[in-house]
Amino acid sequence: MGEKVLMKGNEAVAEAAIMAGCRCFFGYPITPQNEIPEYMSRRMPEVGGVFLQAESEVAGSNMVYGAACAGARVMTTSSSPGISLMQEAISYMAGAELPCVVVNIVRGGPGLGGIQGAQSDYFQATKGGGHGDYHLLVLGPSTVQELVDLTMEAFDLADMYRNPVMILGDAILGQMMEPVEMRKRPPRADLPPKTWATTGAAGRPKNVITSLYLDPAKLEKHNLRLAEKYKRMAAEEVRYATHMTEDADVVLVAYGTTARIARAALDRARERGLRVGLFRPISLWPFPYEALATAAAGAAHVLVVEMSLGQMVEDVRLALGETKPVHFYGRTGGMSPSPREILDDIVKIVERGA
Amino acid sequence: MHEEVIFAGFGGQGVLLMGQLVTYAGMMEGRNVTWMPSYGPEMRGGTANCGVVVSEKEIASPLVSEPTSVVAMNRPSLEKFQGMVRPGGLIIYNRSLVDVKPARNDVRVVAVPANQIADEIGDVRVANMVALGAYLGVTRVVGVDTVLEAMKKVLPERRHGLIPLNQQAIARGMEIAVSASAAR
Amino acid sequence: MQKVFGRPEALADVPTHYCPGCTHGIIHRLIAEVIDELGVRERTVGISPVGCAVLAYDYFNCDFVEASHGRAPAVATGIKRASPNSVVFTYQGDGDLASIGAGEIVHAASRGEKITVIFVNNAIYGMTGGQMAPTTLPGQKTTTSPRGRDPEVAGHPIRVCELLSSLSGAAYIARVSVTSPANVAKARRAVKKAFETQLEGKGFSLVEFLSTCPTNWGMTPVEALKWVDDKMAVYYPLGEYTRVPEVG
Ligand SMILES: Cc1ncc(C[n+]2csc(CCOP(=O)(O)OP(=O)(O)O)c2C)c(N)n1
Ligand code: SF4
Ligand SMILES: [Mg+2]
């Protein structure tokens, strides 16, 4: 194990990107992720990279589109209102099959909302966000170390699938400090060369990057080809973690920071002799439907906990169908559930359900 | 060992630094640690706080909702956080700026005249270090030597000149903790 | 009727959240005084930005709408077109107006939209903690230009009055500061002219204030006022920017 350093999630994400070979960053300030562009403004010049504060998220995300066209490893980061403005470019990048990494340090909405952490952008991240038939690969880390590791991996996944990858964090993860080990991670050796990049048609036929297909038959074909890719992603890139689900009567399902709070509730429940387990989706798209069904197979109840009014719960219901009751507990607007609140809900479910 | 502490005060009192030092020292001593600050406009001229967890176990939630200890550097912070402390826990408060007594009788309370002592040793800005010393003296969560080591990492180079004064402030705070323990 | 020392009716009787030495507060007051003097409080609708003045709706005693970051001129356009008798003003920072909202402000001005824009230029992003703004001066250090703004990389500061005054729809454009009683008096006259321009149906009006941000500039309030005079007013000259006459 290498040496650990104490880092804020936001700064760790920035350094992780640099270590993964990201040399282009475009962004626009927004709380609670300002430390990312601020860190990049210091660090990028040191490593010979590009930092540019765009005039808006609309522009910044289209700068990402451009840099991705040029074959660069490129990232942008923002928080909810800014991510909404990026949806146009994200849709275009999905359509044109451009690799990039987008980090959303989620805050409470809708509208201007607030600046405290939330998970209310789950639908936007996993069910579309922009227009068209497309998917992002969406990863939801729950510790600063996992934020670092997944960010580094996100660049490989983006290049591998030629698809935007989103890291769905939240303000708590961005603002907190935790020890992390920064392992340099060179790009995977088996990545396809970027022969499609628009770097000048020297000694090769010209490259054109577009998402325009005026002929509906061609656009349909393009969409079907993308769908094949999403199928491959769904088969290969499912990630999740379980904790004490084997004997659990109640399985908690939570992602990101909320999974940690749920874990604290689990520990207290176990102290009281309640058999509680935790299923934590890490890939939010593709969602681990089958793994969840397996992990919760022996449980009588499933309790989904989110910092929203219930978004991921829809995927949990899809995974479990009518096999068992799926309960929900959520706080929203930047409030987070406390372990005690979750424990109270567990107790209620057990007492009512037994 | 599992400690969940909130350091709170008004912006500029250095409460985030107190928390960072404990966090960093905890990491250096091989513990699991997390540090979570308040942030954003609420910080501007208003109150600031951070929640720190230091534990032998893997840390589940980084949010401190039921602290084992609270260190309150001003009155609004004491009023905001005292109710959250676990029974049997600890409240340390800055008596120089808090003219009320904590309303809890099921926790241990240590009053520290932090500003006054800081003034005596020459710089009121180290009041946070006095309170930190008292906190370390009572809880022994991390060693003082480790905190001083951590200071070299956490403080920017240009502020390393302040370390001896900080050390003195921490030592004075610890004395208070010792006499508070003796008086029990 | 103008009350000099009392609180203008158009200003709410609540404490503001602005930092000590921040000139957002004085600017609010001048606007409120003018609204009172023109007797239009009950017809006025303000639009607050996303920026330190986001809570302006709490501080003015008239109808108010909160817009998304940079879009206040578009929101104002919608209100004015739907309700032409309203007196509509936006209150926007430099990030809001000249960065993310650069498109909206240019088109509102070029359409000669009969609205009044109060543009508060403090050469920085105040609310988000001191990042570079489009109006940050060359060499000025901010949290996203830690080595000082380098125009080679980050571009040159935008002079909004000069830019907008080239548009035929812009009927009144002025730049003012509030660093001295004389400047405050001039600023007040400019705000009044801007609102009158709207009331007379002449077209788009804008007053740019050179404003302070002692917090993020890392200065005392007094140093900050001096910096406005010595540095900002050099790059951004005060005065009225006469409208380019209509051709053809
Ligand atoms: C779409 C979007 N992007 C970014 C932000 C974050 N944000 C809030 S205020 C602000 C800039 C404020 O600067 P300015 O307009 O100059 O006003 P000041 O605070 O300096 O008065 C930014 C970038 C946001 N709220 N929404
Ligand atoms: S941060 Fe700057 S602009 Fe905002 S209120 Fe404080 S001084 Fe004024
Ligand atoms: Mg500004």
Task: Let me know if A60 is exposed, middle or buried by CB neighbors in 10 A (0-12, 13-18, 19+).
Answer: buried
d(CA C20, CA B169): 30
d(CA C48, CA C17): 15
For chain C, list residues whose CB is within 8 angstroms of any CB belonging to chain B.
Answer: 17, 19-20, 127, 215
C1 pLDDT above the threshold of 80 = no
- Cβ A37–C144 below 8 Å, yes or no? yes
Estimate the crossing angle of helix A87-96 against helix A57-69, to 10 degrees. 20
d(CA B107, CA B105): 6
Query: What average pLDDT does the segment A244-272 reach?
Result: 98
**Separation of CA C220 and ligand 2 centre (Å):** 12
pLDDT value for B43: 53
Closest to A76 (Cα-Cα) out of A16, A3, A25, A132 = A25
C2 pLDDT above the threshold of 50 = no
Tell me the ipTM for this assembly. Answer: 0.94
d(CA C232, CA A347): 63
Average pLDDT, chain C: 95
> What are the structure tokens assigned to C236, written together?
């951004």
Query: Residues B123, B165: contact at Cβ < 8 Å?
Result: yes
C134 pLDDT above the threshold of 70 = yes
Closest residue to atom 20 of ligand 1, CA basis: C126
Give the other-Cβ count within 10 Å of C244's Cβ: 11
Nearest chain B alpha carbon to C20: B45
Domain containing B93 — which CATH number?
3.40.920.10
CB of C228 closer than 6 angstroms to any ligand 2 atom: no
C207 pLDDT above the threshold of 50 = yes
Tell me the backbone φ, ψ of residue A69, rounded to 5 degrees: -55, -35
B45/C contact by beta carbon, under 8 A: yes
Query: What average pLDDT does the segment A218-236 reach?
Result: 98
pLDDT value for C246: 55
Which residue in the set B23, B61, B63 is minimally distant from A177, CB to CB? B23
pLDDT value for C248: 45
What chain A holds in terms of domains, given with CATH numbers, is 4-187+214-236 (3.40.50.970), 240-353 (3.40.50.920)
pLDDT value for A186: 84
- Return the number of CB contacts < 8 Å for A and C: 51
> What are the structure tokens assigned to A250, written together?
């109640």
Query: What average pLDDT does the segment A100-123 reach?
Result: 97
Query: Residues A57, A28: contact at Cβ < 8 Å?
Result: yes
Q: How many domains in chain B?
A: 1
- Cβ C131–A42 below 8 Å, yes or no? no
Range with the poorest average pLDDT among A126-140, B33-47, C175-189 = B33-47
Q: Which residues have a Cβ under 8 Å from the Cβ of A35 and sit 6 or more positions away?
A: A8, A10, A11, A14, A174
DSSP secondary structure of B23-42:
HHHHHHTT-EEEEEE--GGG
Query: Residues A71, A21: contact at Cβ < 8 Å?
Result: no
Q: Tell me the one-letter amino acid at C201.
A: G
Query: Residues A175, A9: contact at Cβ < 8 Å?
Result: yes
Range with the poorest average pLDDT among B82-96, C204-218, C231-245 = C231-245
Distance from CA of B89 to the nearest CA of A (A): 18
| Sole residue written with tokens 């607007």 | A333
Which carries the bigger pLDDT value, residue B184 or residue C157? Answer: C157
d(CA C202, CA C199): 8
Query: Residues A185, A179: contact at Cβ < 8 Å?
Result: no
Pairing, β C44-48 against β B108-112: unpaired
Task: Let me know if C97 is exposed, middle or buried by CB neighbors in 10 A (0-12, 13-18, 19+).
Answer: buried
CATH for C24-241, options being 3.10.20.30, 3.10.580.10, 3.40.50.970, 3.40.50.720: 3.40.50.970
Query: Residues A257, A173: contact at Cβ < 8 Å?
Result: yes
Angle at A144 between CA B13 and CA A112, to 5 degrees: 70
CB of C126 closer than 6 angstroms to any ligand 2 atom: yes
Angle at C166 between CA C161 and CA C172, to 5 degrees: 55
Query: What average pLDDT does the segment C112-129 reach?
Result: 97
Query: Residues B48, B20: contact at Cβ < 8 Å?
Result: no
CA atoms lying within 13 Å on the CB side of residue B116: 10
* Bridge partner residues of B3 (DSSP): B54
**Residues with beta carbon inside 6 Å of ligand 1?**
A 28-30, 57, 81-82, 85; C 49-53, 69, 93-96, 120, 122, 124-128, 133
- Return the number of CB contacts < 8 Å for B and C: 7
B44: domain range? Answer: 2-182
Closest to A20 (Cα-Cα) out of A184, A223, A216, A249 = A184
DSSP secondary structure of C5-40:
SS--TTB-SS---PPTT-THHHHHHHHHHHHHHHT-
Question: Rounded to an integer, what is the distance from CA A112 to the centroid of its chain?
Answer: 21
Give the tens place of pLDDT for each residue, C53-107.
999 999 999 999 999 999 999 999 999 999 999 999 999 999 999 999 999 999 9
The gap between the terminal CA atoms of chain C, to the nearest Å, is 42
pLDDT band with cut points at 50, 70 and 90 for residue A193? very high
**Separation of CA C102 and ligand 1 centre (Å):** 13
What are the C-alpha distances in Å from A219 to residues A94, A212, B125, C145? Answer: 13, 8, 66, 44
Average pLDDT, chain A: 97
> What are the structure tokens assigned to C150, written together?
């380098």
Mutate to test the pocket of ligand 2, among C16, C18, C120 (most ligand atoms within 8 A of CB): C18
- Cβ B41–C215 below 8 Å, yes or no? no
Per-residue pLDDT of chain B (184 residues; tens, 9 = 90+): 999 999 999 988 999 999 999 999 999 999 999 999 998 765 565 789 999 999 999 999 999 999 999 999 999 999 999 999 999 999 999 999 999 999 999 999 999 999 999 999 999 999 999 999 999 999 999 999 999 999 999 999 999 999 999 999 999 999 998 887 766 5
Query: What average pLDDT does the segment C146-174 reach?
Result: 97
| Optimal mutation site among C17, C52, C58, C216, interface B, most CBs of chain B within 10 A | C17
d(CA A254, CA A261): 9
Q: Which residues have a Cβ under 8 Å from the Cβ of C58 and sit 6 or more positions away?
A: C12, C14
C68/A contact by beta carbon, under 8 A: yes
Q: Where are the beta strands (DSSP E) in B27-183?
A: 32-37, 47-55, 69-72, 90-94, 108-112
Query: What average pLDDT does the segment A55-59 reach?
Result: 98
